[in-house]
Amino acid sequence: MIPRSNKLGGPLPKFSDYHLWKTLESLNDKAPIGRKKLSTLLNIGEGSTRTILSMLQEQGMITIGKSGITLTTKGNDFKKSVHMDVADVSISDLTIGDRDCAVRVPKMARNVSYGCEERDAAIKSGATGATTLIYTNGKLIFPGSDYPVDTTVETQIKSVFNLKNEDVVIIGTGPTKESAEIGAVIAGLTILGGLQFNRELKDILSSRSTGNELISLAFAIHDLVGGLPVCAKSRDNLGIRIENGAVIDNAYTGPVLEEVINAGTTIRKVTTSGPYKGIRVIVTPIELDNRIIAAIGVVDIRSMAGVNNLIRLRSDEYE
């Protein structure tokens, strides 16, 4: 096991599909760009930028040379498939944030219902909200109706975009320019179906996976079990601890996680040490190619208050 002191203080890479998308938009197949400049364009740390570049390189979408980073043919094709035009706007008649940003998603009106999914995706990304419009028969209208937008708003949007039939326009709004842009782009990616990278489990998880690489799985389970604490770690690296919808430790290990990795079987017990001492936990291994590569567990804090447990554990299985 790697000593805990070696990992403390190392922040989790902080990026989303927006940053992956913007990376592709910032690169091309002819003019290389350096990592530091890319990090500045993305407004994230160099560590997160390295992680993004590693992911894209594994997918065969970029090449990294002495002169910088360029898109491959595969990367260029993928970039075209998720391209959206982006423009700063100010449309206070439709939005509620301090700053607005609009994106044009080409020919995707068929994927829009009422604009609720796009709004929710924008809010989850940190924006204040998002308004979705579709362009049909020469008019901008609200989805799910034939109600047109105000002519002043339409004129402003047409001044920044060359609209074509069945285009979608999403106006993200937020307290800052960046939050508005992130909200609009994330909403647009929702219409496009997200960034569909061709990745297998072995490309995502390994015995050396960091907490950041386990975070999506851990949060999914955290939601499934009604917000109970979730812990996870790979065999050869420190892991992650989640409580109340937030990461509270990104260099975590626990005795039952280690026990499960060594035993290769699910364990249900009252833990005898660590931050959850005296509380029932259930931890299960993650196996790949007949080898235990990680473990993930849920802490049954409801048992402390005598509440019927969300996790059904037999009393005779506790030590």
Domains annotated on the chain, with CATH: 4-80 (1.10.10.10), 84-192 (3.30.1360.30), 203-317 (3.30.450)
- pLDDT at position 3: 29
CB 182 within 8 A of CB 126: yes
- pLDDT at position 311: 44
Q: What is the spatial distance between Cα 275 and Cα 281, in angstroms, rounded to a whole number?
A: 12
**How big, in percent rounded to 5, are the helix, strand and coil portions of the chain?**
35, 25, 40
Q: Let me know how many helices (H) and strands (E) the chain has, helices first.
A: 10, 13
Counting every residue, how long is the chain?
319
Rounded mean pLDDT of 290-309? Answer: 77
Q: Greater confidence, 5 or 313?
A: 313
The pair of three-digit structure tokens given for residue 18, joined into one six-digit string: 């927006």
Rounded mean pLDDT of 87-96? Answer: 84
> Burial letters for 77-87: b for 16+ Cβ neighbours within 10 Å, e otherwise?
ebbeebbbbbb
- pLDDT at position 203: 52
User: Among 30-34, 256-260, 302-306, which is the least confidently predicted range?
Assistant: 302-306
- What does the pLDDT look like over 27-75, one tens digit per residue? 988 889 999 999 999 998 888 888 889 889 988 999 999 899 999 999 9
Rounded mean pLDDT of 143-154? Answer: 89
To the nearest whole number, what is the mean pLDDT of the chain?
85
User: Among 3-17, 51-65, 200-214, 222-236, which is the least confidently predicted range?
Assistant: 3-17
Q: Greater confidence, 97 or 24?
A: 24
Q: What is the spatial distance between Cα 36 and Cα 108, in angstroms, rounded to a whole number?
A: 34
Q: What is the spatial distance between Cα 203 and Cα 305, in angstroms, rounded to a whole number?
A: 41
Amino acid in position 228: L
pLDDT of 101 higher than 90: yes
- pLDDT at position 50: 87
Q: What is the percentage of the chain residues whose pLDDT exceeds 70?
A: 87
Q: What is the spatial distance between Cα 69 and Cα 76, in angstroms, rounded to a whole number?
A: 13
Three-state secondary structure of 189-218: HHHHCCCCCCCCHHHHCCCCCCHHHHHHHH
- pLDDT at position 313: 40
Rounded mean pLDDT of 137-158? Answer: 91
pLDDT of 98 higher than 70: yes
